[in-house]
Amino acid sequence: MHNVSDMIGFFLKYGNWIQAGEAARSTGIYKAAVGGSTQTDISGNFQSATGAAFLEYLTAGPSAFDRLRPYTRRAAFRTALITPAQPLSAALISEGGPAPATKLNNDSAGLAPVKVGGLAVASKEALFTPEGMESITLELRNAVAEATDQEFLGTIADAADVTEAASADPVADFKKLLDGVNLSGFGSLFFIASPGTANILSTKRAATGGPLLFPGVLGGFLLGLPLLMTAPADDTLTLVDASSISTGAEDMEIKTTEHASVYLDDMDSDGPFTLISVFQAEAIALLGIRSFAAKLMRASGAAVLTGCSAAWAGGE
């Protein structure tokens, strides 16, 4: 039996090794036969770079979907949603009198999550600096954000009551969107547009010599409502009431591994895909992935204007 001094000596000698061993767990595997890399397994510049990239991920700007989320109805994946068959009503109630009642529907399907992700493969040499890791991680995060918005905007457009083609009169077009969505005066309204649409609006005036309709090309406010910028909006301008959307989402994960096989599809080649080993190529694979879901609970909660660039082109 060991005495206390023996146990203390053992801990002082091997304690750091034990702690490192417990912490050395895989951060993620992508088509790998063996465990992926961890920060505790790799020291020096790569560990510093990974930590710096994580901080960059935390501070980078989110997708339009994520900027809307705080104003939506949050829900868990694959759980029933309760929705009113018609707008809830309330009225002045006299003593002993009845209160208005509204039937609620049970949407048993709930939110079915979809998954978006992207894979980047780079040489170890490129990732062995904090700047290299930050750059690749930021590009990967931006790609996942765009894929998120692409799916989200498609879901909203498919369920929206109002889809109109843009005319040569932006002001009249804005009114179509407002009439289709702002029905009760409540809610959290947002415009969503692409940078190209914002570029045109930034030079468009209500009349010759009049004020600009839109103050800038990087987002801001349009008719007093926040305008969110995202490239997947393409040639559309969407008005949404965020409170009419149920959403669920997980944070984006970034997984790394040195042990994977990756198919390379060279667009300039007509031959078969090339299968390479990341390990043999002395490279590292980074996978950015997330799950999310969105459902428009009220068809009048969104309106979409299409063909904006062609209709509004020409500046003033």
> Residue ranges per domain, the chain?
30-84+99-312
According to the per-residue pLDDT averaged within each range, which of 47-56, 61-70, 286-295 is highest?
286-295
pLDDT above 50 (res 235): yes
Say if residues 260 and 275 touch (Cβ distance below 8 Å).
no
pTM, full prediction? 0.72
Q: How confident is the model at residue 52 (pLDDT cuts 50, 70, 90)?
A: very low
pLDDT above 50 (res 26): no
- Name the CATH topology of 30-84+99-312: phage-related protein like fold (3.90.1690)
CA Rg, the chain, in Å?
Answer: 26
pLDDT of residue 296: 93
What average pLDDT does the segment 112-131 reach? 85
pLDDT above 50 (res 46): no
Q: Could you tell me which residue, 30 or 214, shows the higher pLDDT?
A: 214
According to the per-residue pLDDT averaged within each range, which of 8-17, 40-49, 131-140 is highest?
131-140
pLDDT 10s digits, 129-185: 778 888 888 899 999 999 999 999 999 999 998 999 999 888 899 999 999 997 776
